[in-house]
Amino acid sequence: MITLRKHILPSVLAVILLSTSACTSETAAGSPSSSPSSKSTKSARSASPSAPASSRPAALQLNPVSPVDARTVLADFKTRGMSSHLEALQRIADANGGNRASGTNGYEESGRYVEEQLRAAGYTPVRQTFSFRGDGRNKKQVQSFNILADTGGSAEHTVVVGAHLDSVPEGPGIDDNGSGIAAVLETARWLKESGIAPANRVRFAFWGGEEDGLYGSQHYVDELSQTEKQQTAANLNVDMVASPNGVRSVHDGDGTDFGHAGPAGSKAIEDIFFQFFKENSLPAETTPFDGGSDYDAFLSAGIPGGGLFTGDEKKKTRAQVQEYGGQAGKHLDPCYHEACDTTSNINQDLLKDMSAALAYGTAAYAMAKTG
């Protein structure tokens, strides 16, 4: 998750188009199947920012109804391999200067790992390349990429399920955001194994350049045509879902709790996640849409958004301790953006709960109907 005070940067995106029928890469080529025709405070916008949501065509609204039982999904995710993904990302960071930041060997190896896992699950991952101006005195141009992988289903009702792949330079980023990557990877694998044939296309996305200014997700949205924006029915985002002193939180889609409402349809995303937690008798709360993660570009484009989060710099309250346990007055993630954000910095129970919630919500949108 990005923190504005560390990343007030201009964005110079490469003029590299994500074709309506293909994405290209040095190591992966092809196109996602059925391509359409053609943590903190708000980050700085890109050099070619999205227009206000009011000027965009309205995204299609879906009514999510999960085809699977919430309790069954949670039981399944209690034994799934999210931790193995975190261990792999830790090994990659250890072998590459202690981090997986965009533009580094650690990021490249993280990308290859994700691609290998997706291929093994039966997907055809592709890369969408972009560049941005890095931080520091020299402000070097940084080359990075997103990874995209599609299910079958109607491209006219595309659901983007994403998490950022990069870490900060200061550490390996295992909670922020290896945990989100593990949740998305296991959701992608689970969806294949479940036998669900999506009626709506699900596009699994692994964003680059998030910690530098939300560049990867912004580039993705900027490269969509007006028709493609209209066909993007929802964005589900996971950024930090295993905070060691964390809480289960869902983005406040209608803004009733924090005043930052998403576009029409965002409340339905909030509701489907809360339905999962309610059916499993797990306490959960809302968290604001404050522009601190990759959902921001989607919301600005008028696309319904939502997601899951377990906390970063805020301190746990006594009321939260009563609901979730943990330590009052301590940071939800004491290793946020630090070298100690390792596999030892993970709340395994939260990781399982939040990964299962993502899978439940993804299935609900994969099978949702319009109207």
Encoded amino acid at 293, one letter: S
DSSP one-letter code for 255: -
Residue carrying the six token digits 């890369």:
127
For 208-238, b where at least 16 C-beta lie within 10 A, e where not — what string? bbbbbbbbbbbbbbbbbeeebbbbbbbbbbb
d(CA 298, CA 296): 5
d(CA 351, CA 243): 8
Task: Specify burial of residue 136 (Cβ count, 10 A radius: 0-12, 13-18, 19+).
Answer: exposed
Active-site residue set: 210
d(CA 333, CA 337): 9
H or E stretch covering 317: none
d(CA 176, CA 31): 28
Cβ atoms of 39 and 240 closer than 8 Å: yes
Handedness of CA 291, 216, 166, 198 (dihedral sign): positive
